[in-house]
Structures are given as C-alpha cells and as structure tokens.
C-alpha cells in the first residue's frame, strides 16, 4: 500500500462498485479457515476476487479463497470477505486490516468475524464454538500505528467493549434456542505462523485466554476505530499445543472447521435473521 489509507480506500470503493455495482450493505462478514461455504449461500451474489481489486493482497493460505461477495443473506444486505490475509503471510497490520477498512468505508454498521482457534485449556473441545467476549492483542503490532486520519476514526479508540454486548447476548441466546450452546471467552491473537509451544499455551491460559489464533485482532481494532460494532465467533478446531495427544496440523484444523461449518452457519443465520434492520453509515473518506 504505497498510498495513504484514505487514498487507497477511495480507489478501492470505486473499484468494488465498478465490479459489483452499488453496495448498500450494513452488515459485514469475515469468514475464516474452512468457513468459506457461507459465501455460497448468499442470494443474488455479486463477487469480485481480491486479486482484481487494487491495494488488497491476495490470500495465499489454502482454504482461504480471497473473494468479496455482496448480496442478501437472511433478509439483510451483506458484504462477505471470504478469505483473509494474515500478518504471518508477510503483510503489515494495515494491509491485513484493509479489507475491513473497506467494509467500513462501504457503510457497514456491524461486522461478524469468524475464525478457527485452538483451545487454551481443556474446558473446550474441538468442534465447539466460542463467542468472543474480549481479546488479548499479543500480535506485537497494531494497525493504527502511524499518523491517525481523523476522517477514519479517533487517535485513541476505546476498546472497553470491543465485542458488542448486545450482539454477544443475542448470539448466546440464539445458540441456546438452537439447542447448540456455545462458550463465551477471551481470544488471544498471536502473530504465528508457528503454532504455540506448550509453555506458551500454559502462559496464555494463565493470562486469561480461552482460545488462541492468528487473525481477527487487527480487523477488530480497525472496525472499532471506525465505530463498527463487532461480533466474533471462534470455531475451536484443536486443543492448544501440549493439551491433547499428538501434534498440531493445519489440514486437521481445516477439517474440524469444515465439520463445524453447518453449526456455525446455523448460528450465524439465526443471529442475522434476528437482527433488526441496520443503518448504513457510508464512510467513504
Ligand atoms: N493456535 C493458533 N492458531 C490456531 C490454532 C492454534 O492452536 N488452531 C487454529 N488456529
């Protein structure tokens, strides 16, 4: 991203609308590893690949396709990011969070982020879902470092309620109603790409983490910077290193995430269905 974020956003917004037509979607969705199937359920879907948009880095991780999909899902106009880029792919945190900036500029009021995560303790099991109550930013970076553009958000954004209380409560209630209860907990975001050592998992649990992963945190910081409300959902794909038997393996992570997809989709569908009509906040700077 050679340009300022604002200049890049202007070009991105116009490139997206040139590719898919006008976007008036107040709800954004970020789909993590193995969860891309939701993108196939979008009605009247209009798609553009990240590779065909300026400034966006194409995702290189298997299981992350890298497409922006606009359409209707459960009565709401949505913008879906199917596939994300991670800092461990070699991108800085501004680059990693640019797709979420784009959704903010296009006008979303609320963002639902999903990810695959390891459990930091054995009170959760592979296949479980967790509503993110809060996070620990242990990535070593922050997408807001550098000059602040006040047209995007304030210099020192509050993070007291990074994950919106009402959206969390709604999600827990829907899960209960569906007879598929979920956990609520703290997500520790690390840089990766190596998985943690058993000592690190032990440390994370002592710090108050329930789940650990390599995404989400920069996206949520940027969303909050823009005043976007956030709901975060983790699919627990494995016990953290040293908690279970055997070694950690990305193909296994993807497989478990894939198996939990139906439950994740049902839960997200229930939440989206229950949302009132959301306001659009066009923020093209
Ligand atoms: N650690 C970090 N990231 C992850 C894990 C894990 O155990 N599982 C899925 N993403």
* pLDDT tens digits, 100-147: 999 999 999 999 999 999 999 999 999 999 999 999 999 999 999 999
Residue 153 in contact with ligand 1 by CB distance below 6 A: no
Range 36-48 average pLDDT: 90
Maximum CA extent, the chain: 50
Which residues are identified as catalytic?
33, 64, 86, 88-89, 116, 214-215, 238, 252
Q: What are the structural domain ranges in the chain?
A: 5-274
At 19, the pLDDT band (50, 70, 90 cuts) reads very high
pLDDT for the residue numbered 124: 95
* pLDDT tens digits, 196-227: 999 999 999 999 999 999 999 999 999 999 99
pTM higher than the cut 0.85: yes
Give the CATH number of domain 5-274. 3.40.50.1580
Residue 186 in contact with ligand 1 by CB distance below 6 A: no
pLDDT for the residue numbered 1: 47
Report for 22-36, 59-73, 232-246: range of highest mean pLDDT: 232-246
Q: Are the C-beta atoms of residues 49 and 91 closer than 8 Å to each other?
A: no
Ligand 1 midpoint to CA 61 (Å) = 14
127 contacts: CB under 8 Å, gap ≥ 6: 235, 236, 237, 256, 259, 260
pLDDT for the residue numbered 61: 57
Ligand 1 midpoint to CA 240 (Å) = 7
Range 18-26 average pLDDT: 96
Instruction: Specify the residue with its C-alpha closest to ligand 1, atom 5.
Output: 118
Report for 34-38, 197-201, 245-249: range of highest mean pLDDT: 197-201
Q: Is the pLDDT of residue 276 over 90?
A: yes
In percent, the amount of the chain with pLDDT more than 90 equals: 79
Residue 171, class by beta-carbon neighbours within 10 Å (0-12 exposed, 13-18 middle, 19+ buried)? buried
Q: Which atom of ligand 1 is nearest to the CA of 190?
A: 2
In percent, the amount of the chain with pLDDT more than 70 equals: 96
d(CA 168, CA 232): 8
Q: Which two tokens stand for residue 78?
A: 């949505």
At 285, the pLDDT band (50, 70, 90 cuts) reads confident
> Nearest 10 degrees: CA dihedral of 21, 110, 228, 170?
180
What integer best gives the mean pLDDT of the chain?
A: 93
Residue 237 in contact with ligand 1 by CB distance below 6 A: yes
Ligand 1 midpoint to CA 21 (Å) = 37
Helix, strand, or coil (residue 183): strand
pLDDT for the residue numbered 175: 96
Helix, strand, or coil (residue 77): strand
Residue 200 in contact with ligand 1 by CB distance below 6 A: no
Residue 196 in contact with ligand 1 by CB distance below 6 A: yes
Q: Are the C-beta atoms of residues 38 and 10 closer than 8 Å to each other?
A: no
Q: Is the pLDDT of residue 90 over 70?
A: yes
Range 3-28 average pLDDT: 93
Ligand 1 midpoint to CA 274 (Å) = 30
At 259, the pLDDT band (50, 70, 90 cuts) reads confident
Residue 248 in contact with ligand 1 by CB distance below 6 A: yes
Ligand 1 midpoint to CA 49 (Å) = 26
* pLDDT tens digits, 74-88: 999 999 999 889 999
């Amino acid at each position: 991203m050679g340009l300022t974020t604002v200049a890049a956003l202007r070009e991105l917004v116009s490139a997206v609308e040139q590719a898919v037509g006008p976007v008036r979607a107040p709800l954004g969705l970020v789909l993590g590893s193995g969860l891309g199937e939701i993108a196939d359920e979008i009605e009247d879907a209009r798609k553009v690949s990240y590779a065909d948009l300026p400034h966006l880095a194409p995702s290189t991780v298997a299981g992350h396709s890298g497409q922006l999909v606009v359409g209707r899902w459960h009565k709401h106009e949505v913008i879906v990011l199917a596939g994300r880029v991670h800092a461990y792919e070699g991108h800085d945190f501004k680059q990693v969070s640019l797709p979420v900036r784009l959704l903010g500029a296009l006008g979303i009021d609320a963002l639902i982020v999903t990810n695959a995560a390891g459990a930091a303790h054995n009170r959760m099991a592979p296949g479980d879902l967790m509503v993110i109550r809060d996070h620990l930013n242990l990535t070593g970076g922050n997408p807001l470092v550098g000059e602040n553009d006040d047209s995007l958000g304030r210099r020192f954004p509050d993070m007291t309620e990074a994950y919106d209380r009402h959206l969390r409560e709604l999600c827990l209630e829907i899960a209960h109603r569906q007879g598929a209860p979920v956990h609520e907990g703290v997500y520790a975001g690390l840089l990766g790409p190596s998985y943690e050592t058993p000592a690190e998992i032990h440390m994370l649990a002592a710090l108050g983490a329930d789940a650990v992963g390599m995404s989400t945190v920069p996206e949520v910081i940027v969303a909050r910077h823009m005043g976007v409300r956030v709901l975060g959902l983790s699919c627990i794909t494995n016990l953290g290193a040293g908690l279970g038997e055997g070694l950690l393996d990305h193909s296994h992570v993807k497989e478990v995430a894939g198996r939990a997809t139906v439950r994740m989709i049902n839960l997200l569908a229930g939440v989206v269905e229950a949302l009132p009509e959301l306001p659009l906040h066009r923020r093209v700077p």
